[in-house]
Structure 1
Amino acid sequence: MQPCLLTLRLVSRFIRCSRWCAVRRDDQYSRRWSSSGSDKQLSQGIESVASYIKQQASNILVMVGAGMSTPSGIPDFRSPGTGLYDNLQKYDLPYPEAIFDIHYFMMDPRPFFTLAQDLYPGVNYKPNIAHHFLRLLHEEGKLQMVYTQNIDGLERLAGIPEEKLVEAHGSFATASCTLCGRRHDAGRVKKAVVEGDVPVMCEAAKCKGKVKPDIVFFGENLPSVFWDYHLQVPFTDLLLVMGTSLEVYPFAKIADEVGRKTPRVLINLSAVGSFGSRDNDTVLGGDLVQTVEELTKALGWEEKLRALEKNYSLQSGNEE
């Protein structure tokens, strides 16, 4: 076996072991707290959250994961059968995570670029109501910051200002050489990838590096701005977590870094992470889009949200 492939497989085993441990932790908390209460209890929870947002919250820190984008048609990573990692057979990868492994990319970038053709923001997928709801929180002066695990760029497309957005796992908005680090025109890289003119090679003299969008691969560091969450959480007066399993660290750690008395609200299919371990935790289980719609109604923001959706549709239509 080649040394590089041996290293990749060892890394894969480590990643899977770490995730298994994280899932076991999540299972422990899920047993302590169940969000499968009655519709009446769920309604009361939504009304309480809406009241707090309207009357008290002014620095809402939001954490979002893959479940935020699945209503837009983007598959998550790990759902059995439908997840991205279960549908990569056509790429002939040594293991699913290799498609986002920087060492494998250096050996063979074609699988990632093929996937990127589909994932590029604005090509096949558009923001859904949950993304527009985050934009509305900003418009209402309630949004402190959005931390997203997603690389699809739908938060940007929905109009979340860059200064209010931390893309923890990178984005397609910029592109760099994997060897010398030189920044390249993101528009040119997008055009090359979408049209299949890959790999994109560095333009720097004597550099033979491959250029890729600044997605954080396994083996790369998170953006330095991510670690500024330590400066944010002391001022957070409401944590809103949407569509994430809270399995991937260090991202998931943010949920436990807010003050012990800070209200935490989870909108997800089921309880995850440490939700349910604090007195001020609220779990709004079930379908994310439906829950967001009900929360918007309880806030009295329905017309404002529809206006944002309409404006986005008009703008995206003009750009096409």
Structure 2
Amino acid sequence: MKDIDLDKLVKAIEKGKKVTFFNGAGISTSAGIPDFRSPDTGLYSNLAKLNLPYAEAVFDIDYFKEDPKPFYTLATELMPGQFPPTKFHYLIKLFQDKNKLNRVYTQNIDTLERLAGVEDENIVEAHGSFASNHCIECKEEMSSNTFKDLMEKGIPNCESCKGYVKPDIVFFGEGLPKKFFSSWDDDCDNVEIAIIAGTSLTVYPFASLPSEVDKKCIRVLANKEKVGDLGSRKDDILALGGCDEFAEKIARSLGWEKELDKLYDEGQNKYTTKKESEQEKIEDIKFELKKVDIKESKFKNEDKDEVDIDVSNLIEKLKI
């Protein structure tokens, strides 16, 4: 991004123009979440172990109804709480806190915008997310805690009708959330600054959004490569490179650098502390289990009276 383009963007923000974000999987890769389509490293290229007829079947609603196991296998690797938000996510949070955020349109299902502190009213998850869960048959909602507990034991089933319960992620064969269309009807003609980040702009209708904004809109592409029609308008700004590097540069230019670093460091510390706490619990469990001979998750001890193990304490520690 040229300095003259950066100055133009900063001045527009300082004059009160609000930013609308259009996010793709690339803003989350530095958190450790693989994207879907990158060769060798994308999720689709690493699904061979699930023996799917084709990679995208893991997110196909008809295939899910026949065999939900592959999705739940993948879901355990993507559940919120395992990955911390990135600097780019916290940049969005800063725009919100300073009343300079219009909306966040995201293709991502990882909920990292939410974990960074962006409010629900400001987020449009075009492809749904792990934030809520419903039965695919009777549509009854299930809390995230209950869903997570059931998924650790097997396949979550609805308490009412016994149908499969899945996160409100949009599968192939399902319609996009109503919020996507209603929000875009409100926002389309009012986008003043559009920041398009970490996306290949290949999945529609999301991919068409940046092209539908007003010609006077400043469009900024924060991406490793040029995509869509970005760069074809006189007010377009191309910032080709990493999303976090873009966030750092913008924050520095706006005088938000210390605030961004503080938010990011606090988020990383919270995540690290949680991981350390979980690891300590695991080590405690291992210690307790050494007191009995356990094979294939079954107690093999014959003389239970000689086993010195606090079962209630062990069960409590297993709830991590």
Give the TM-score, by structure 1 length: 0.82
1:145 corresponding residue in structure 2: 103
Aligned partners of 1:63, 1:190: CA distance in 2, in Å? Answer: 29
1:220 corresponding residue in structure 2: 174
Structure 2 regions of 5+ residues with no counterpart?
Answer: 278-320
The structural deviation recorded for 1:236 is: 1.8
Q: Runs of 4 or more off by more than 6 Å in structure 1?
A: none
Identity in percent: 44
The structural deviation recorded for 1:312 is: 3.0
The structural deviation recorded for 1:310 is: 3.5
The structural deviation recorded for 1:318 is: 7.0
Of 83, 86, 93, the match for 2:42? 83
Whichever of the two has the greater Rg, that structure is 2
Structure 1 regions of 5+ residues with no counterpart?
Answer: 1-40
Aligned partners of 1:185, 1:304: CA distance in 2, in Å? Answer: 33
1:274 corresponding residue in structure 2: 229
Of 92, 115, 120, the match for 2:79? 120
The structural deviation recorded for 1:294 is: 1.3
Helix, strand or coil: the match of 1:201? coil
The structural deviation recorded for 1:317 is: 6.3
Matched, 1:187 2:145: yes
How many pairs are equivalent? Answer: 274
1:286 corresponding residue in structure 2: 241
1:309 corresponding residue in structure 2: 264
The structural deviation recorded for 1:307 is: 2.2
Aligned Cα RMSD in Å? 1.6
1:168 corresponding residue in structure 2: 126
Aligned partners of 1:313, 1:86: CA distance in 2, in Å? Answer: 29
- Residue by residue over 1:166-187, the C-alpha shift from the partner in whole angstroms, topping out at 9 and shown as x without a partner, is 1111111111111111111221
Matched, 1:53 2:13: yes
Of 184, 196, 199, the match for 2:155? 199
Aligned partners of 1:256, 1:296: CA distance in 2, in Å? Answer: 26
Of 226, 229, 252, the match for 2:207? 252
Helix, strand or coil: the match of 2:2? helix
2:253 corresponding residue in structure 1: 298
Which amino acid in 2 is paired with 1:188?
T
The structural deviation recorded for 1:240 is: 0.9
The structural deviation recorded for 1:316 is: 4.9
Contact preservation (8 Å) 1:46, 1:284 = no
Change (3 A) 1:81 1:313: closer
